[in-house]
Structure 1
Amino acid sequence: MSFGFNLDKHKIKQAFSQSVLTYNDVTQLQRTVGKALLQHIKLPDVTDTLLDLGCGTGFLTAELLTLLPCERMIALDMALPMVQAARLKLRNFDNVTYICADAQQLPIAEHAVGHVFSNLMLQWCVDLEAVFTEIRRVLKPGGQLVFSIFGPQTLQELKQAWAVVDNYNHVNYFYSMSELEAFLRQAGFTILKYERQSYVSSYESVLVLMKELKQMGAHNVNGGRNKRLTTKNQMQNMMAAYPKCIDTDRILATFDVITLVVRA
């Protein structure tokens, strides 16, 4: 099953590897969403092995370790610099295993994990259906996957502004709820809970927004994007088309967040 645009896996890995030094400075949204994700955890049920899928620099991993009495935590990310940063951050915890791997090919035994948590990472997966199948494989029967993912209205203002300039995909494709539901059911999951919330961030300018997206590793990694360099004139036209706040010169950016709790 295939939806949306093809993502370039190499560029995704490269982007997050290069952003490790600036990632913590520009990820307030990820932290806010991550803390909200913790509210979906039933504490008495989480005691065995946990997997933080897409651990990044270890923020959510640290929160999970502090909150939950788990026997073992697996911190996994496809970007080695992120795994190294997480290891440094979590050096005082002795029950963490660090893995650099692709979520589509998890080096974890079948039915070895009780719970999987993933915060704003799964939208970067090239084959999300395959990733859900892998997560289902490593989860114990009845185990839960709790995750947040960017929805289709994410960066809608930036998409609209670029649409004035040309027909290329300048912004990443984000899956709809119906697409996610199809992937999950195909992988054998039962959906227990679904929430959706829009977060709106304010920026001094479009350039500041684009710089932040690059610093967090979340700039355009679509395989079908324009291969030519964007001209100065095209960039100026896009920024002129970007909607401005009525009472200030600042601009707003929407981040559409879908949160799901599913059971294997």
Structure 2
Amino acid sequence: MILDKVRIKQSFSAASLTYDSVAGLQRTVGRELLHAIDATKLTDTLLDLGCGTGFLTGELLVHSNYETVIALDIALSMLQTTQGKLSDKYRVNYICADAEHLPLAEKSIDGVYSNLALQWCRNLEVVFTDIKRVLKPEGQLVFSTFGPQTLQELKSAWATVDNYNHVNTFYSEAQLKLFLQQAGFKNSQFKSKLYISPYDSVWMLMQELKCLGAQHVIAGRNKKITTKTAMQQMILAYEKYKVSGQISATFEVISVIAKV
């Protein structure tokens, strides 16, 4: 999977003001992620990797016995939003950087936490290897990411129109497990869960994805402007499955706890 990092940065920068208004699923997943962790492990120096607008950062501040929390994101405007929310919090450091190139010292972090962000990385094996580098002995990586069933209805609807990839492809549990093993993580625990979200229309779904900054960012995609006819054909194909006046969208979330 080859992702266009420039488009990713632009998309999330543009979404910094609208993200929170439509990020209900992200908040739900983030809370469940922290509830699955032994709170006694949330100590010392913690990294929120891909912090977005700071939801998980704030939760870590409330539920941990931290000395320092580092909020890191590739989009400066997202990071600034987080900083604005947490302006009254001490011992929080903010870093604008790519998760694939962590500007952190070896064995300097006690725990790395990431909520629905790592799916935007090009090479997860490289990411996991670098996370292992910065983690202290006995440190842990805890993250959630989207799985391959995510937006399967939208993919299916577009497949009736043309052969282009209009929806991002996400890694499977088996692939994540392999990447973690290759990076040197042991005793990884996996949990997969499907969230079905209702929408009044396909346009509402697409507007939400735009507000989240989750547009199609695969490099080599069809760069031609999607025609009005093609869009109408896709919507018609999707809305054939309306129930009680609403369409549904599937989001598969894979949550992982991996230890060094």
Both structures adopt the same fold (TM-score exceeding 0.5): yes
Q: What is the rounded CA distance, in whole Å, between the counterparts of 1:204 and 1:176 in structure 2? A: 29
The structure 1 residue matched to 2:38, chosen from 37, 42, 54, is: 42
Contiguous gaps of at least 5 residues in structure 2:
none
Superimposed CA distance per residue, residues 76-133 of structure 1 (whole angstroms, 9 cap, x where no aligned partner): 0000001101111111111100000001111110000000000000000111111111
> How far did residue 16 of structure 1 move?
0.1
Match in the other structure for 1:74:
70
Q: CA deviation at 1:224?
A: 2.6
Partner of 1:239: 235
Aligned ranges 1:14-163 → 2 under 5 Å? 14-163=10-159
Deviation at 1:246, TM superposition (A): 5.2
Q: Which runs of 5+ in 1 are unaligned?
A: none
SS of residue paired to 1:25: helix
| Alpha-carbon distance change, 226 to 64 in structure 1, aligned in 2, over 3 angstroms | same
CA distance in 2, matches of 1:246, 1:213: 19
How high is the TM-score relative to the length of structure 1?
Answer: 0.96
Q: Which amino acid aligns with 2:151?
A: L
Q: Is the 8 A contact 1:244 1:252 kept in 2?
A: no
Q: Does the aligned pair in 2 maintain the 1:72–1:95 contact within 8 Å?
A: yes
Equivalent pairs counted in the alignment come to: 260
**Residues 227-261 of structure 1, C-alpha deviation per residue, up to 9 Å, x if partnerless?**
11110110010001115455422110000000000
What TM-score, normalized to structure 2?
0.98
Displacement of 1:45 in angstroms is 2.2
Q: Is the 8 A contact 2:153 2:238 kept in 1?
A: yes
User: Contact between 1:51 and 1:74, CA under 8 Å: does it hold in 2?
Assistant: yes
